[in-house]
Amino acid sequence: MADPAFNAVSIGLLVLAIAAIIYPLYFIVIASISEPAEILNGNVWLIPQSITFEGYARIFSDPAIMRGFANSVAYTVVGTFVSVTAILFAAYALSRRDMLGRTFFMLLFIITMFVDGGLIARYLVVRDLGMLDTVWAVVLPGAIGVWNLIIARAFFENNVPSELREAAQLDGAHDFRFFFSIVLPLSKPLIFLMIMIHLVGNWNAFFDALIFLDNEDMYPLQLVLRNVLIQSEVSGAGGSGAMDSYAAAQRIGELIKYGMIVISSIPLLILLPFMQKHFTKGALLGAVKS
DSSP secondary structure string for all residues of 6-24: HHHHHHHHHHHHHHHHHHH
- Domain at 62-287, CATH from 3.40.50.800, 1.10.472.10, 3.60.20.10, 1.10.3720.10: 1.10.3720.10
Model confidence over 223-259: pLDDT tens digits? Answer: 887 777 676 555 544 444 444 556 776 777 788 888 8
125-205-232-27 Cα dihedral, nearest 10 degrees: -170
Tell me, what's the pLDDT at 237? 43
Tell me, what's the pLDDT at 240? 42
Percentage above 70 pLDDT, the chain: 87
Kindly tell me if the per-residue pLDDT of 184 is higher than 50: yes
Residue with the larger pLDDT of the pair 231 and 42: 42
Tell me, what's the pLDDT at 232? 58
What mean pLDDT value characterizes the chain? Answer: 83
Percentage above 90 pLDDT, the chain: 21
Phi and psi at residue 44, to the nearest 5°: -100, 110
Contacts of 51 (CB under 8 A, 6+ apart): 33, 34
Tell me, what's the pLDDT at 283? 56
Residue with the larger pLDDT of the pair 88 and 279: 88
Calpha distance 209→202 (Å, rounded): 11
Kindly tell me if the per-residue pLDDT of 87 is higher than 90: yes
Residue with the larger pLDDT of the pair 85 and 282: 85
Phi and psi at residue 183, to the nearest 5°: -65, -50
Kindly tell me if the per-residue pLDDT of 88 is higher than 60: yes
Tell me, what's the pLDDT at 91? 93
Kindly tell me if the per-residue pLDDT of 290 is higher than 50: no
**Residues 244 and 88: beta-carbon distance below 8 Å:** no
Contacts of 30 (CB under 8 A, 6+ apart): 44, 46, 47, 48
pLDDT-based confidence at residue 285 (cuts at 50, 70, 90): low
Tell me, what's the pLDDT at 229? 66
- In the DSSP assignment, the letter for residue 241 is G
Q: Where are the domains of the chain?
A: 1-60, 62-287
Kindly tell me if the per-residue pLDDT of 277 is higher than 80: no
Q: Which helix (H) or strand (E) holds 81?
A: helix 63-95
Tell me, what's the pLDDT at 246? 65
Q: What's the mean pLDDT in 133-138?
A: 91
- Compute how many other C-beta atoms are within 10 angstroms of the C-beta atom of residue 74: 15
pLDDT-based confidence at residue 82 (cuts at 50, 70, 90): very high
